[in-house]
Amino acid sequence: MALMITDECINCDVCEPECPNEAISMGELYYVIDPAKCTECVGHFGEPQCVQVCPVECIPVNPEHVETQDQLHRKYLNLVALALRPGEPLPAGSQS
């Protein structure tokens, strides 16, 4: 399940730098999360970092992008593979 940022966002700027997948960016009025890049921090952390730091609790699960933990882990592996240079090994613990 990718996360989403609701219109309750106050643009405090704390979530964007916490996202290890660079899935968070400024939208027209408030921050948005790219569901193609959001793994809910699976592969990086035990909990979504944006949710942990959000002072107004405006980052729920996006009901339009429901994914299992396995799907989120596969998405994480694909994102890591895209970011790697040819021949570079996957980070420890990320091989399935």
pLDDT digits (tens, 9 = 90+) for 32-52: 999 999 999 999 999 999 999
16-83 topology per CATH: Alpha-Beta Plaits (3.30.70)
Q: What is the spatial distance between Cα 45 and Cα 88, in angstroms, rounded to a whole number?
A: 22
Q: Compute the Cα dihedral for 72, 86, 23, 55 and give only its sign.
A: positive
pTM of the full structure: 0.84
Range 35-55 burial, b when 16+ CB lie within 10 A, else e: bebbbbbbbbeeebbbbeebe
Closest CA to 41 of 60, 23, 63: 23
In the numeric block, the tokens 């027209």 are attached to 28
pLDDT digits (tens, 9 = 90+) for 58-95: 999 999 999 999 999 999 999 998 887 666 565 555 54
